[in-house]
Structure 1
Amino acid sequence: MRYLLFALCLCLPLPTLSQTPGKIVFTSQPAANVTISTPYTLTPKSDLFFTVHLDSPLIRYLQALAPDADQETVLKQGNYQFSLYVDGRLCYQSNLHPGAPSAAAKTRDTVLSRPLINYKAASASWSEYYWMRFLRNGGDSALTEGPHLLRMEIRPYVSDPVKGIKTGGLIASGELPLIVNRKPFIDTAKIVLNTPTPYNGLVVSHGNFDRNTVKLLKGNIEAGVFPKVTSIAVIRNGQLIIEEYFNGSGRDSMHDVRSVGKSFAGAITGMAIRDGHLRSVDQPLSDFYDLHAFANYSADKAQTSLQSLLTMSSPFDGDDNDDQSPGNEENMYPADNWVKFALDLPVNTVRPKGEWHYFTAGVVVLGDVLHRRLPGGLEKYADQQLFRPLGISRYQWQYTPQGVANTAGGIRMNTLDFAKFGWLYQQRGRWQGKQVLPASWVQQTFTRHKSIPGRQEEYYGYLFWNKTFHINNKAYEAFYCSGNGGNYILVFRNTPLVIVITAEAYNLPYAHPQVNTMLQQYLLPAVLQ
Structure 2
Amino acid sequence: MKSTLLVVLILISSFSLAQNIVKPEKIENSVQKTHANKIVFLDKVIPFENIKEADFLKTMIFKEDKNFDIRVFLDNSLVNYLHQLDPSLTIDELLKKGNYQFNFIVDGKLIYTENLNTGAGTADSKKIKTSFRIPFLSTTNEDSWGRYLWMRFYLANGGIDVLKAGNHVLKIEIKPYLKSSILKIGNVIAQGEIKLIVPQKNISEGQMTIQKIKPNSGWKISDEKFNQQKIKALNQKIAENRFRDITGIIVIKNEKLLLEEYFNGYKRDSLNDTRSVGKSFSSALMGIAIKDGYIKSENQSLKEFYDLKQFNNYSSKKDSVTIKSLLTMSSGFDGNDQDEESPGNEENMYPTENWVKFVLDLPMSENKIGKTWSYFTAGVVLTGDILDQSVPKGLENYAQNKLFQPLGITNYKWQFTPQQKPSLAGGLKMNALDFAKFGQLYKNNGTWNGKTILDKNWIKKSFTNYFADNKDFEGYGYLFWRKVYKVGNKSFESYQSSGNGGNKIIIFTEVPVVMVITAKAYNKLYAHLQVDKMVQEYLLPAVYEQ
| TM-score bin (small chain) | 0.7 to 0.9
1:147 aligned residue (167, 174, 184): 167
Deviations 1:25-63 (A, max 9, x none): 855x9999xx99994443xx7334346899xxxxxx999
The offset of 1:187, in angstroms, is 9.2
CA contact (8 A) 1:396 1:412 kept: yes
1:116 corresponds in structure 2 to 137
* Structure 1 position 255 matched with structure 2 position 272: yes
Residues 521, 175 of structure 1: CA spacing in aligned structure 2 closer, same or farther, 3 A cutoff? Answer: closer
- Identify which of 494, 510, 520 aligns with 1:494: 510
What TM-score, normalized by structure 1, do the two folds share?
Answer: 0.76
Q: Considering only aligned residues, what root-mean-square deviation do their CA atoms show, in Å?
A: 4.8
The whole-number CA distance in structure 1 between the counterparts of 2:444 and 2:266 is 28
1:318 offset after TM fit, Å?
1.9
Q: 2:147 aligns with which of 128, 134, 145?
A: 128
Partner letter of residue 356 of structure 1?
W
What is the alpha-carbon distance in structure 2 between the residues aligned to residue 137 and residue 248 of structure 1?
Answer: 27
> Does the CA-based 8 Å contact 1:356-1:451 persist in structure 2?
no
Correspondence for 1:57 = none
Q: Which residue of 2 aligns with 1:400?
A: 417
Query: Which letter does structure 2 place at the counterpart of 1:459?
Result: G
Secondary structure in structure 2 of the residue aligned to 1:448: coil
Q: Does residue 416 in structure 1 map to residue 436 in structure 2?
A: no
User: In the alignment, residue 485 of structure 2 is paired with which amino acid?
Assistant: F
Matched residue, 1:47: 65
Q: In the aligned structure 2, how far is the partner of 1:117 from the partner of 1:419?
A: 39
1:267 counterpart = 2:284:
yes
* Deviation at residue 496 of structure 1 after TM alignment: 2.0
Offset at residue 174 of structure 1 (A): 9.8
1: CA distance, partners of 2:217 / 2:114 = 52
Distance 1:301 1:339, change over 3 A: same
Tell me, yes or no, if the aligned pair for 1:24 and 1:50 is still in contact at 8 Å.
Answer: no
Change in CA separation of 1:448 and 1:134 when aligned onto 2, cut-off 3 Å: closer
Task: State, as a whole percentage, how many aligned pairs show the same letter.
Answer: 46
Q: Which is further off, 143-152 or 269-278?
A: 143-152
Deviation of 1:501 after TM superposition, in Å, equals 0.8
**2:520 aligned with 1:504:** yes
Closer, same or farther in 2 for the Cα pair 1:427/1:90, shift >3 Å?
closer
Q: Which residue of 1 aligns with 2:243?
A: 226
Q: Counterparts in 2 of 1:355-374, with a 5 A limit?
A: 355-374=372-391
The whole-number CA distance in structure 1 between the counterparts of 2:162 and 2:487 is 29
Q: Which residue of 2 aligns with 1:179?
A: 197
Question: In 1, distance between residues paired with 2:344 and 2:281?
Answer: 22
- Matches of 1:495 and 1:82, distance apart in 2: 41
Are the aligned partners of 2:238 and 2:244 in contact in 1 as well (CA < 8 Å)?
yes
8 Å contact kept, 2:78–2:100 = no
AA aligned opposite 1:213: K
The 3-state SS of whatever aligns with 1:232 is strand
1:522 aligns with 2:541: no
**What is the identity, as a one-letter code, of the residue corresponding to 1:290?**
D
Change in Cα spacing, 1:123 to 1:193, as seen in structure 2 (3 Å) is: farther
Tell me the secondary structure at the aligned position of residue 407 of structure 2. coil
**Alpha-carbon shift at residue 267 of structure 1 (Å):** 0.8
Q: Is the 8 A contact 1:228 1:505 kept in 2?
A: yes
In structure 2, relative to structure 1, the CA distance for the partners of 1:237 and 1:82 (3 Å cut) is closer
1:240-319 map, 5 Å: 240-319=257-336
Matches of 2:224 and 2:348, distance apart in 1: 49
C-alpha distance in structure 2 between counterparts of 1:299 and 1:472, whole Å: 51
Report the Cα offset of residue 131 of structure 1: 0.5
Ranges in structure 1 where 5+ consecutive residues have no aligned partner: 1-13, 55-60, 66-73
Assess, with a 3 A threshold, how the Cα gap between structure 1 residues 492 and 117 changes in structure 2: closer, same or farther.
farther
* 1:372-409 Cα deviation digits (max 9, x unpaired): 22223222221121112211111111122332212111
Provide structure 2 residue ranges, at least 5 long, that are not aligned to the other structure: 1-23, 48-54, 82-93
Alignment TM-score, normalising by the size of structure 2: 0.74
Q: Deviations over 1:447-505 (max 9, x none)?
A: 3333272346x222211122333445444332211112211111122222111111122
After superposition, the Cα gap between the structure-2 partners of 1:475 and 1:17, relative to the gap in structure 1 and judged at 3 Å, is closer
Change (3 A) 1:49 1:79: farther
Whole-angstrom CA distance in 2 between matches of 1:433 and 1:89 = 55
Residue 321 of structure 1 and its aligned partner are, at CA, apart by 2.9
Q: Number of aligned pairs?
A: 497
Q: Deviations over 1:120-173 (max 9, x none)?
A: x99997443210334477967985864346578999x9x9x9xxx9x9xx9x99
Q: Distance in 1 between matches of 2:228 and 2:516?
A: 18
Distance change >3 Å, CA 142–CA 524, structure 1 → 2 = closer
Q: Residue 285 of structure 1: CA displacement?
A: 0.4
Q: In structure 2, what is the Cα distance between the partners aligned to 1:524 and 1:470?
A: 9
Q: CA deviation at 1:363?
A: 0.7
Measure the CA separation in 2 of the matches of 1:153 and 1:227: 28
Instruction: Give me the whole-angstrom Cα distance separating, in 1, the residues matched to 2:45 and 2:437.
Output: 43
- With over 3 angstroms needed to count, the CA separation of the structure-2 counterparts of 1:39 and 1:345, relative to structure 1, is same
Alignment check: 8 A CA contact 2:274 2:500 kept: yes
- SS of equivalent residue, structure 1 residue 280: coil
Structure 1 position 356, deviation (Å) = 2.2
